[in-house]
Amino acid sequence: MTASLGGKVALVTGAAGGIGGAVVRRFVAEGAEVLAADLDAAGLGRLAAEVPGVRTCTADITAADGVTALFAAMDDAFGRIDILVNNAGIGGPRVKRLHELDLEEYDAVMAANLRAPLALTQAVLPRMIAAGGGAIVNLASPAGMHAVPRVGPYSISKAGMIMLTKQTAKEYAADGIRCNAVAPGVTDTAILDGLPKAHLDQIVAMIPQGRIAQPDEIAAMIVFLASDAASFVNGSIVLVDGAAGT
């Protein structure tokens, strides 16, 4: 069984980023119609120029009116939605222990990484229920399974994303809705820009496959989970990390 997305309509958030852009390219190549969403209008413009036929929407999904505008654009463009990919997120502070955090910093990470995906999930569920089903793929992280020193807000938010995935799957499986998450290991995206080579070398040394992931390798798993080929995969958290977390 192939992971074709022919005839499917998808919404991908964080689409201007490395993994999000790779997901959009893969989805379109597999036959899906896609609305690519991001706060980065320039990045969406570059994506649209590269991927013919993709629709774009600039929206702040941490704001209620941003979520409303996004689904209005979805309704206007396609009139339905089969797949939601909750990819957008931020890293937050990377050098502070918990007692050093400003709660405003924590709130910003939780708003982008957990509250916004919940708001998008709440918006999409009635549409999917009415349509008889759908697929949601969330972006989690190994950091949501194992505490990472000095990135507390990010780790906590991704732990929440894992439980949001499981909760959604459990509550809506009978409605024909599947919800799974991909937990990428260290991936070659802009988040690594400026990272000292010595630090990156230390990271690679801890990955049994001896390298970091490419965005398209993460996108490939997202395509599979979104497709009918994964019809009995529900509530799973799939590590794509070169055996680093094994």
Beta-strand pair 83-86/237-240: unpaired
Check if 154 is active-site: yes
| Rounded Cα distance, 80 and 77, in Å | 9
| Rounded Cα distance, 146 and 140, in Å | 12
Please give the C-alpha separations between residue 226 and each of 45, 89, 155, 211, in angstroms, as whole numbers.
25, 19, 25, 26
Indicate which residue of 154, 158, 164, 184 is catalytic.
Answer: 154
What burial letters (b/e) apply to 61-87, b meaning 16+ CB within 10 Å? bbeeebbebbbebbeebbeebbbbbbb
Q: Catalytic residue numbers?
A: 154
